[in-house]
């Protein structure tokens, strides 16, 4: 099972059994070559492997540059961003290991950019910017920048460098642009179709192809006039252009070194990933595997929204069908097709081999049917901000739950199943300037056949980091009052689910607009193979002494007075295996570390835990003395 590190719908390809140690299907040391029919060139396996790794290194360097130069804590601290390379046809050839929900969906954005600006309309130095969910995007805060890479002459298109970054505010009804009460996309922020953000000159010199164009001030001004934090947005957009400039420069270096071998090598790399994926799928038993999970609600009174999935394994391909899933809803939990596809690709990769190079070929054996007008493929102008964040997680849970029927030991129990989106906004009393704070919260990872789930981590479609308390308190008029793991929140099992988190945040010296968009406050993350479900999440307003004052709805927006404290408690992961089979030493360890209370130990693990509880209490008393 993947740890959530990495995450396109065409069938075809080569014999699934034709798999070797390198991209060409042969051991790189045997001197063999691969023949590309479209170019009538043979490329040796060593070259293929070097080119593949070079492209991956470029994607990783792009991401490192984006994080280093990012202006907002959301990018430079939480790393809510992703980078990838695409060939001249717009097919992904390499990605950095970052955000799965970005990476599976970014090819749709590149396709939309290429459709709007065909190669003959592009020049060296151009870049295309977009965020429209209904034209390849995911939700409005995710801005995608696509930059063509030309050869030294500035005439021939070689590739595209692309990145996606979550901006902490893009306008809309609520600071942070993640409004839990939105009912149409127009309330969620500035909607940007594919537009030229940087403009260069056609033909030109080598320098023109290398340096890039000028940012279009009219487009930039339009964006900055519609957001609450324009200087932060300007800085993050500059980071995105810098990241793609890195990708453009590095890829041109690869092209200069490998010349005519490059294009056939890129094709063979994709074919290699397809062969490996087909071989993995062929190892699964044929059949149709079904699973159903639910979203708690849409924040507008519509509850228990089902996500139904049937996964048909047939030889070396799979068809994933979401027929029976809830119709699109009034609230903001609708996930556009690009998001649904991203979650599906990720889930299939998790139960096959996450080491298969992730590129366009990897997803050719996966066909997705998502009925139009449902929460997994809505029609505009549906509200979609939470579909990217919450419904993507439930799609992952459902597809993995179905695949557990094909290979139970390859699937983890349900993880927390939510990103716990928190936003605060208002006027910073220290500066008099508007601010918008956004973050997601980690929770419990599901138990698995070989071990306990991880505690307090971002799971599946999210792969970000928590905002450090020191950074949060420096950048915003907020204070972290409490931050720690939630004992007993992981589901019991032979292998326990990971623990959720508790994070209490105080509003300092001003009135703030607060929004929460979360899930699993009613439904619980499921266990597998006899394991128990993880605990629900919850949110409260709390008093100064930490006592709960008022329980908050999972989709919630309100104004908070100065001094108010919001406590977000995130779900735990489900357990794996019968709790009766848990190693007593593991129970004792959890008691000793405070991850499990004596009362919960007795309830989950029965009389066998009694002596361990007594020993734990005696040890604790001795430590206190």
| pLDDT single digits (tens) 242-287 | 999 999 999 999 999 999 899 999 999 999 999 999 999 999 999 9
* Helix or strand run (H / E) with residue 337: helix 337-351
For residue 44, name the pLDDT band (cuts at 50, 70, 90): confident
- Give the strands of the sheet with 214-215, arranged side by side: 92-95, 81-87, 157-166, 142-150, 127-130, 195-199, 214-215
Q: What is the pLDDT of residues 128-165, one digit of tens each?
A: 999 999 998 999 999 999 999 999 888 899 999 999 99
Give me the half-sphere count of Cα atoms (radius 13 Å) on the Cβ side of residue 622.
Answer: 7
Of 230-239, 380-389, 609-618, give the lowest mean pLDDT range: 609-618
The DSSP-derived string for 580-610 is GGS-HHHHHHHHHHTSS-HHHHHHHHGGGGH
In eight-state DSSP terms, residue 259 is G
**Residue 618: inside a domain:** no
The residue ranges of DSSP E strands in 210-302, in sequence order, are 214-215, 287-297
**Residue 606: inside a domain:** no
Contacts of 249 (CB under 8 A, 6+ apart): 210
If DSSP codes are grouped into helix, strand and coil, which group holds residue 217? Answer: helix
For residue 454, name the pLDDT band (cuts at 50, 70, 90): very high
**Residue 605: inside a domain:** no
Q: Is 608 left (phi over 0), alpha (psi -120 to 50) or beta?
A: alpha
Terminal C-alpha separation, the chain? 44
Domain boundary (250, 273, 296) is at 273
**Whole-number pLDDT of residue 2:** 37
Domain boundary (582, 603, 618) is at 582
SS3 content of the chain, % helix, strand, coil (to 5): 35, 25, 45
The answer to whether 516 touches 556, Cβ cutoff 8 Å, is yes
If DSSP codes are grouped into helix, strand and coil, which group holds residue 456? Answer: coil
**Residue 224: inside a domain:** yes
The answer to whether 235 touches 242, Cβ cutoff 8 Å, is no
Of 43-47, 62-66, 540-544, 591-595, give the lowest mean pLDDT range: 43-47
Give the separation between CA 236 and CA 230, rounded to whole angstroms.
Answer: 10
**Helices 598-605 and 610-624 meet at what angle, rounded to 10?**
170
Q: What pTM does this model have? A: 0.89
**Residue 623: inside a domain:** no
**Whole-number pLDDT of residue 617:** 53
Note down the domain range covering 162. 28-273
**Residue 147: inside a domain:** yes
The residue ranges of DSSP E strands in 37-141, in sequence order, are 41-44, 81-87, 92-95, 127-130
Domain boundary (234, 252, 273) is at 273
Residues in the chain: 625
**Whole-number pLDDT of residue 339:** 95
The answer to whether 356 touches 273, Cβ cutoff 8 Å, is yes
**Residue 348: inside a domain:** no
Give the CA distances from residue 25 to residues 3, 31, 356, 475, in Å, rounded to whole numbers and listed in that order. 27, 12, 13, 51
**Residue 418: inside a domain:** yes
Give the separation between CA 249 and CA 230, rounded to whole angstroms.
Answer: 29
**Total domains present in the chain:** 2
Q: Is the confidence at residue 429, as pLDDT, over 70?
A: yes
The DSSP-derived string for 119-141 is GGG--TT-EEEE--GGGT-SSTT
């Amino acid at each position: 099972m993947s740890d959530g590190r990495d995450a396109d719908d065409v069938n075809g390809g080569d014999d699934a059994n034709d798999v070797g140690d390198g991209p060409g299907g042969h051991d790189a040391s045997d001197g063999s070559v691969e023949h590309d029919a479209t170019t009538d060139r043979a490329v040796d396996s060593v070259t293929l492997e070097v080119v593949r790794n070079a492209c991956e290194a470029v994607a990783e360097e792009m991401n490192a540059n984006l994080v280093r130069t990012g202006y907002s804590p959301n990018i430079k601290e939480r790393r809510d961003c992703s980078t990838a390379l695409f060939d001249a046809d717009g097919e992904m050839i390499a990605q950095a290991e970052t955000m799965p929900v970005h990476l599976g969906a970014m090819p749709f954005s590149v396709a939309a950019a290429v459709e709007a600006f065909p190669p003959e309309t592009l020049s060296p130095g151009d870049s295309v910017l977009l965020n429209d969910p209904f034209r390849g995007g995911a939700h409005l805060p995710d801005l995608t920048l696509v930059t063509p890479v030309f050869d030294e002459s500035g005439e021939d298109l070689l590739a595209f460098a692309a990145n996606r970054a979550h901006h902490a505010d893009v306008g809309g009804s609520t600071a942070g642009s993640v409004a839990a009460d939105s009912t149409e996309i127009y309330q969620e922020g500035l909607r940007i179709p594919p537009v030229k953000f940087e403009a260069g000159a056609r033909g030109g010199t080598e320098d023109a192809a290398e340096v890039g164009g000028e940012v279009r001030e009219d487009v930039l001004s339009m964006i900055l006039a519609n957001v609450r934090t324009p200087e932060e947005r300007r800085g993050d957009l500059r980071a995105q252009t810098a990241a793609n400039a890195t990708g453009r420069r590095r890829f041109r270096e690869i092209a200069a070194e490998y010349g005519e071998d490059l294009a056939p090598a890129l094709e063979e790399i994709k074919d290699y990933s397809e062969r490996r994926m087909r071989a993995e799928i062929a190892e699964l038993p044929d059949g149709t595997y079904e699973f159903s999970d639910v979203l708690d609600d849409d924040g507008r009174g519509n509850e228990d929204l089902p996500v139904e999935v049937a996964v048909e394994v047939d030889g070396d391909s799979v068809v994933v069908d979401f027929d029976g899933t809830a119709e699109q809803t009034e609230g903001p939990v609708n996930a556009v097709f690009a998001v649904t596809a991203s979650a599906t690709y990720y889930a299939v990769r998790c139960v096959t081999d996450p080491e298969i190079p992730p590129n366009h070929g990897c997803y050719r054996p996966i066909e997705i049917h998502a009925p139009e007008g449902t929460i997994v493929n809505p029609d505009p102008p549906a509200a979609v901000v939470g579909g990217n964040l919450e419904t993507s997680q439930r799609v992952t849970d459902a597809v993995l739950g179905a695949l557990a029927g094909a290979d139970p030991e390859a699937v983890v129990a349900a993880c927390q199943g939510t990103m716990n989106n928190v936003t605060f906004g208002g006027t910073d009393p220290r500066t008099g300037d508007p601010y918008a704070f956004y973050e997601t919260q980690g929770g419990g990872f599901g138990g698995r056949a070989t071990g306990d789930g991880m505690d307090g981590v971002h799971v599946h479609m999210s792969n970000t980091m928590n905002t450090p308390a020191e950074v949060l308190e420096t950048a915003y008029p907020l204070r972290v009052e409490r931050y720690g793991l939630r004992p007993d929140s992981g589901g019991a099992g032979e292998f326990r689910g990971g623990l959720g988190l508790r994070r209490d945040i105080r509003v300092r010296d001003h009135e703030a607009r607060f929004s929460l968009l979360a899930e699993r406050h009613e439904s619980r993350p499921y266990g597998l193979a006899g394991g128990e479900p993880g605990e629900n999440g919850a949110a409260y307003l709390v008093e100064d002494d930490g006592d709960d004052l008022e329980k908050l709805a999972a989709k919630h927006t309100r104004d908070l007075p100065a001094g108010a404290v919001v406590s977000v408690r995130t779900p735990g992961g489900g357990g794996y295996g019968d709790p009766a089979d848990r190693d007593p030493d593991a129970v004792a360890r959890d008691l000793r570390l405070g991850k499990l209370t004596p009362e919960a130990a007795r309830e989950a693990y029965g009389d066998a835990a009694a002596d361990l509880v007594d020993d734990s209490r005696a040890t604790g008393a001795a430590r206190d003395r």
